[in-house]
Amino acid sequence: MGQLEILDLIRIVLILALAYLAYIDLRTFRLPDVITMPLILAGLCFNSFSSLRFISPQESIFGGLVGFLLLWLLNRLYRYIKKQDGIGMGDAKLLSALGAWLGWAALPSILFLASISGIIGGMIWLRLNKQNRSSPFPFGPFLIFAGIIELLWPQLLQNLLLSNLS
């Protein structure tokens, strides 16, 4: 098996794990540590010890740290203002895993796309479930959607935005 086939297989396994996490989050509003923590470790190991890595080990470590800290800090700020949690730490661990696999440079695109799709998807979710706008909905599937887009088509968002500026 050639290197391209191995990379494709790794992408498929990663997508399947992420799709399973999205399914769990949609049903339970939870992203279990038993899946997110190994995903973080697998991303760090793959990018540190494999010659087929997606990014450098430094980018992987920094991506994992920044991914977690971004959502952790956002939640702390929200908790300070609203006196309640706004986002679960499972989402922070999921973004950490995506950062470990795809690097810190992918995080702005992932967060932007997840936020836009989350706003649209959240409105649909709340309407279908006949809930008001203050009701919670799972954000993990939108992070996963954005992560898969970034995994399959890196820099897609930047290319689309920059091509419209020319």
Mean pLDDT of 96-106: 97
Contacts of 41 (CB under 8 A, 6+ apart): none
Specify the pLDDT at position 62.
98
Does 166 have pLDDT greater than 60?
no
pTM higher than the cut 0.95: no
Residue with tokens 């500026």: 165
Number of Cβ atoms within 10 Å of the Cβ of 95:
30
In whole angstroms, give the CA distance from residue 64 to residue 44.
8
The pLDDT tens digits of the residues spanning 52-81 come to 999 999 999 999 999 999 999 999 999 999
Nearest C-alpha neighbor of 156 from the set 106, 96, 115: 106
Q: How confident is the model at residue 87 (pLDDT cuts 50, 70, 90)?
A: confident
Question: What are the extents of the domains in the chain?
Answer: 3-165
CB 79 within 8 A of CB 107: no
Task: Reduce the DSSP state of residue 128 to 3 states and report it.
Answer: helix
Q: How confident is the model at residue 162 (pLDDT cuts 50, 70, 90)?
A: low
The pLDDT tens digits of the residues spanning 2-58 come to 888 899 999 999 999 999 999 999 999 999 999 999 999 999 999 999 999 999 999
